[in-house]
Every structure is written in C-alpha cells, then in structure tokens.
Amino acid sequence: MKIAAIIGSSRVDGNTQQLTEMALEGLEYTPIILKEKQITPIDDLRHADGGFQPVADDYDRVIDMVLEHDILIFATPVYWYGMSGLMKNFVDRWSQSLRDSRFEFKRKMSQKKAYVVTCGGDQPKIKALPLIQQFQHIFEFIGMSFQEYIIGTANAPHDILKDEQAIAEAKRWNETFSSLK
C-alpha cells in the first residue's frame, strides 16, 4: 500500500501538514506539496472544438505521481470554510484528466482510498462540515472510497498540538497505516 499526502497549505509547516505528519510518522509516504507546484486553474474546454488543450504546468506530473499510490490523504487547511484555492485548482483539473485518454483516470482513482485532514480556526468541527460533505460528493463521483477524516482546531502555528482529539485520531490512523502491508 503506497501512501501519498497531497498538501494544499499555502503555509510551510502549517497545522494541517503537522497533523498529517503525525498520522504518517515512521511510515514511508510521498508528500505532494501543491504550493511547490505550478498548477493553473482549469480552462473549461469541455464543450469547445478540440476539447482540452495541453497545459504547460506541473499538473500532469502531479497526477502521474498521485496515480502510483493506493492511499491518498487530502490535507488542506480550512480557508474560508472550504479547501484552499491551491487544492481546489488541483481538483478542478481532474475534469481535464477525465477526458485524457493517457490516464484511465477514473478507473484508477476508483481503486484508491481517500482520507481527509483539515484544520481551521473558527469552529471547524461544525463549520468545516460542508467541506467534508463536498469531499464525499467528490469521492463518490470519482468512485474512491472515503475512509476517514480528521478535523483539527488550530489557528496560530502549532495550535494543533492542543487538540487532543485530532492528535488521538492521527495516532490511530498511524496504527492503521502501519498495519497495512
């Protein structure tokens, strides 16, 4: 079981990343830091003559990496009660991959297991629930099984260390991941 953590934070070493790293401590995994990639917003050419056009950015390489893994952890801070724009731009581009015959995108994605880690400062355990529901719709569409999510309460750097519930969850995930072959 190969694990990738897709990190949508715009801040280095933020709470979401820290919490994700707790869940993955001691394990081999591929961090995919979206902030370090150039991924442009989708240009919706679904209905244009010729369809989508190749885009000169890092998206295809990111998808190649993603597709090599079995477990995908979507780690995004709660920005304005949703996923970060970095993460959203990445997901929006899936519409292009769905139509890209090189990838067998949907078939391959449907075999993966999805996890979500998200941290926010304003009552996220309530106000990030629409985000969890959105991820559920996303995963359902693409056929990926939505395993679990952790919502952490954190605002300033390292706040997450005070959220006992989130930490306990991350440790439990760590045990689960460790027990997988």
* Contacts with a second copy, residue ranges (CB under 8 A): 9-11, 14, 35, 41-47, 77, 79-86, 88-89, 91-92, 94-95, 122, 125-127, 129-134, 136-138, 141, 146, 148-149, 156-157, 164-165, 168-169, 172
Please enumerate in sequence order all residues whose Cβ is within 8 A of that of 174, keeping only pairs 6 or more positions apart, or say none. 22, 23, 24, 25, 26, 27
Is the Cβ of residue 2 or residue 130 nearer to a second copy in the bound state? 130
User: Running DSSP on this structure, what letter comes out for residue 151?
Assistant: E
Q: Can you tell me whether residue 65 is helix, strand or coil?
A: helix
Q: Work out the widest C-alpha separation in the chain, in whole angstroms.
A: 53
How many Cβ atoms are within 10 Å of 148's Cβ, its own excluded?
A: 15
Quote the least distance from Cβ 88 to a second copy, whole Å.
Answer: 4
Is the Cβ of residue 130 or residue 143 nearer to a second copy in the bound state? 130
Is the Cβ of residue 136 or residue 161 nearer to a second copy in the bound state? 136
Is the Cβ of residue 3 or residue 153 nearer to a second copy in the bound state? 153
Q: How many residues does the chain have?
A: 181
CA 131 distance to own-chain centroid: 12
Quote the least distance from Cβ 126 to a second copy, whole Å.
Answer: 5
Quote the least distance from Cβ 34 to a second copy, whole Å.
Answer: 9
Is the Cβ of residue 2 or residue 171 nearer to a second copy in the bound state? 171
Gap between the Cα atoms of 62 and 36, Å rounded: 11
Quote the least distance from Cβ 87 to a second copy, whole Å.
Answer: 9
Gap between the Cα atoms of 45 and 33, Å rounded: 27
Give residue 39's identity as a one-letter amino acid code.
Answer: I
Quote the least distance from Cβ 41 to a second copy, whole Å.
Answer: 5
